[in-house]
Chains A and B, each alone.
Chain A
Amino acid sequence: MDSLPERIASGRGPLSVVRFLGLVLLGAIVGAVAALLAVAFVSAVLALNDLLLISPRSRMMFDHPGLLLAATIAVPALGGLVVGLLHLRIPERRPHTPADVIAAVQTRHGRLPARAGGLSALTALVSLGSGASVGQYGPLVHLGATLGSQVARLLRLGRSDDNITIACGVAAAIATAFNAPLAGIVFAHEVVLRHYALRAFAPVAAAALVGYVIATNVLDRGALFHVADTAVPLPWEFVAFLAIGGLGALVAGAYMHTILGVTRLAGSLPIAAPLRPALAGALLGLTALWIPDILGMGQETLRFATIAGAFGSAELLLVLVLKIAATGLCLGMGFSGGVFSPALVIGTLFGALCGSLVGQLSGAPQETFVFYAVCGMVAVTSPVIGAPLTSLLIVFELTGSYALTTAALASVTLASPIAAQLFGRSLFDIQLERRGLDLSAGRGRAVLRTTPVADYLSEDCVTLHPQTPVAEAVTTLCRARHGEGYLVDDQGRYRGCVSLADLEAARESASGPARVGEVATLARPVVQPDTSLWDAMAKLQDVTGEALPVVDPAAEDAFRGVVFESSITRAYLAHGDEMRREEHGTG
């Protein structure tokens, strides 16, 4: 193993500059491909929505009321069936989401599989196209990340570079979809990488920039918000924005727990898994006959929510609740898609509700209505995706309005910490925690917790049969230059650990035990092959000795070998060192 200063020194020099520039170029290429994929995905969703009578425009242009009614129910139901059947072909039987991207990057394990990634994108396309109440940004992020990971695999890059190309794909997807390059860069850092390193920044920025350029030239879409130039909120309104932040955290919690709750419930439903999304689709379509706003991504609803007077207060509340329920239903029952777009709609409806209530109470003219809508939007979205800075930047880049960004800042200031305290860092983190990956203490612990000790297993140890005479055991240990021996019986089971010192004492004492099996064993914790490095490290705290025996309970306590204390410590330091270089290195 190299010593630390040596490795750091090797990161400087002309060759590493070239290598680094290559990585930046690679980021730009990944960004370009991810952006084109994102553009194609978004266009395909729009085309499907027109074709399948989901978009209001196509519904208005369709002149057969009876057929339209039938299509409203049949399209999401059939879409759900297709999605359900396609998910059977993914090993985990569920679509991959940004949570999987975060897990891959944070644990520095496992690339993102191409097949599951492609299938997830396809099912997301079908879900969105057939009007399920899900988001499009999650699938775009995952698609970009999968692309980045595949490129890294193709070029046989190391883990750190793999993480960077993944982040490049993510940044380009966001930059393209929102037409917001800064938000793309910050999102990749805030949600996926979770550290800031200059080494990652440049490739990610290049990717986002390329994505943005492609978006402005290919995608022709209106900005998410428009603001009257003259309106500036009064000082007391910032108090309202703060309050919206606090309450928005609760709305975000309700939203996240609806999704998680339905997911849990769906598992216990007596319906075959591929049929669940179909059922959800039919229910969604049926409700949409009454309230069409819940269908699809809800771009029209989002727009109307920013217009004062487009909804009544009671109507806002109704659509808000139904949208949460519809999204929970769709995602929980197995549709594939993101959580961000519905959160945008829910948050904006919530903000609009607060705005109209404030308007009614204060009697003030509603020139600042859009401020409330936007505050509600960031208050709900930023806890859900765990990205307060990204939410702010999206507002800033889409509106170019400093006043609006400041108001959003007031809202997010309370929303993010309150939601993090009450629920967790983000919906992704909660989902990962339920799958057994706890990221709450950061990447260091996550990496160690997902590295099994089996990776450091050694068979370079002395095993002794319990019937071995003590004198013979002493000789064996001395020849092998080991201080400890492990008792293994005829069936290969682990029986305990004896020290050379104890064996010597037994040999010297006349009345002492003659066989190794009779010598007192040491109190030595055992580990299992899948015990994590983190837990092994914890066990070492109470041990003074050479190594921990590895015992496999799956094979009747069979003795597999040992993990030396020194290799655990070395692995611990190596992981820390690797991460330090990734997070603080420049080249």
Chain B
Amino acid sequence: MARDKHKWRLACVLWLGMFPGVHGQADDGVLSILSWGGAYERAQQAALFAPYTNATGISIEVAQYDGGLEDLRRAVAEDEVPWDLIDMTRSEAMVACAEGLLQPLSPTLLAPAPDGTPPEQDFVPDAFGRCAITHSIFATVVAYRRDAFPGTRPDGIEDLFDQQRFPGPRALQRTPAVNLEWALLSYRVPHEELYGLLSTRRGLDLALERLDDLENIHWWEAGDTPPRLLSEGKVVMASGYNGRFFDAMVNRGVPIEILWDGQVQEHETWAIPRGAPHPETARDFLRFATTTERLADLARHIPYGPARRSAAVRVTTHPDSGVDMRLHIPTHPLNAERALTKDEAWYAQSLGRIQEYFQAWLEAREAQ
């Protein structure tokens, strides 16, 4: 991740250097967007960025990041925000909004559905935050190599922790989020109570105990790592974003399968940082990128659930492979049967403490 970060930081510096007087100017024909890179960015490029440039003549510069708010905090503090729009997870948007790093957004800037349905009724519940608007719903899921477990295959999230039946190394994200949820779900606690239980010392201990039982964990940070580890055969099961796994599976033919049980759904949002150079253009793009047509098109390129109902029913096939995308989006009823929605309010308030606790455990584990 460190290398990736440097890469985009360098890109930003170069880019800022090229336009020394860019700060504070509006409508100079460029929009800077901070997004996640990889297959995700390629899909956005095809479904959102290129069509927007075609329609308006405004070119789009894209910088990549792996989440996290440190750079945004620093940029806002130094009053040198290079981005007009940030593609962020809702939990980070909530934190950033509470810290005053983002501009308030009103749902009134959104377009109605083609049949005239107003956005309030068309978007999924809780899509409108104070400073962020949900455009897609993605999931963190477990994927496994199809050839790793002859004669059997994992069918529940508890199988992630069962190295006797499903032997082999795992790759997990180096964060408490999702890992703690799955670890506690493997004790078969009901979804509704999960975050209440994780709020107790006992629940955290139980979850970490489960994680501790895993031998040979590869910790990943950048979203493209888990599909790579799987395709290289370095791990047999890995957590990761469903879009990345789909990309590896369909576009690159990696022999993996997604385990939808226990998928953790998250909202991906658009947010405009405080001090963005081109806030008006950013709002215009936001309206464009959240129309039914664009959202449906985005879901054809990367299997994220569109935040609009009118878009979800319009999702068709993958443009290159012809795969029916509806079966690959996390919100499809078949996939969403035992889905967990990440409690982002909980994370927004307590991530620091959870992180500390997780970090201490991680250091103790690695010291062994």
Spell out A's residues near B (CB within 8 Å).
55-57, 59-63, 220-223, 226, 228, 292-293, 299-300, 303-304, 307, 309-311
Contacts and interface: CB of A to CB of B under 8 A. Distances in A.
Given A61-B345, A310-B206, A222 B199 contact: no
A49 to B, nearest CB: 10
Contact of B202 (A61, A228, A304): A304
A55 B190 CA distance: 17
A307 B189 contact: yes
Contacts of B189: 222, 226, 303, 307
B78 interface: no
Contact of B193 (A292, A300, A309): A300
Contact of A309 (B190, B195, B206, B350): B206
Contacts of A222: 189-193
A292 B188 contact: no
A326 to B, nearest CB: 17
A310 B199 contact: no
Contacts of B196: 55-57, 299-300
A300 B196 CA distance: 7
A397 to B, nearest CB: 15
Given A300-B193, A303-B193, A307-B187, A56 B206 contact: no
A310 B202 contact: yes
Nearest to A227: B188
B353 interface: yes
A226 B188 contact: yes
Question: Of A62, A228, A293, A300, which is in contact with the most chain B CB atoms at under 10 Å from its CB?
Answer: A300
A54 B353 CA distance: 18
Contacts of B187: 307, 310
6 contacts: A56-B203, A61-B346, A61-B349, A61-B350, A222-B191, A304-B206
Nearest to B193: A222
B164 interface: no
Contacts, number: 69
A60 B199 contact: yes
Question: Of A61, A62, A221, A293, which is in contact with the most chain B CB atoms at under 10 Å from its CB?
Answer: A61
Interface in B189-246: 189-193, 195-200, 202-203, 206, 209
Nearest to B184: A307
A220 B341 CA distance: 14
Contact of A60 (B202, B206, B350): B350
A221 B345 contact: no
Given A59-B199, A63-B350, A304-B203, 15 more contacts: A56-B196, A60-B198, A60-B349, A61-B199, A61-B345, A61-B346, A61-B349, A63-B349, A221-B192, A222-B193, A226-B189, A300-B203, A304-B206, A307-B189, A311-B202
Nearest to A315: B202
Nearest to A63: B349
Nearest to A302: B193
Contacts of B199: 55-57, 59-61, 300
Given A61-B345, A61-B350, A304-B203, A228 B188 contact: yes
Nearest to A58: B199
A293 B352 CA distance: 24
Given A60-B346, A222-B190, A228-B188, A300 B200 contact: yes
Nearest to A65: B353
Nearest to B352: A63
B166 to A, nearest CB: 17
Contacts of B197: 56, 300, 303-304
A355 B197 CA distance: 22
Contacts of A310: 187, 202, 206
Contacts of B345: 61
Question: Of B188, B196, B346, B352, which is in contact with the most chain A CB atoms at under 10 Å from its CB?
Answer: B196
Contacts of A63: 349-350, 352-353
A399 to B, nearest CB: 12
Contacts of A292: 200
A222 B198 CA distance: 15
B192 A57 contact: no
B92 to A, nearest CB: 16
A57 B206 contact: no
Contacts of A220: 192
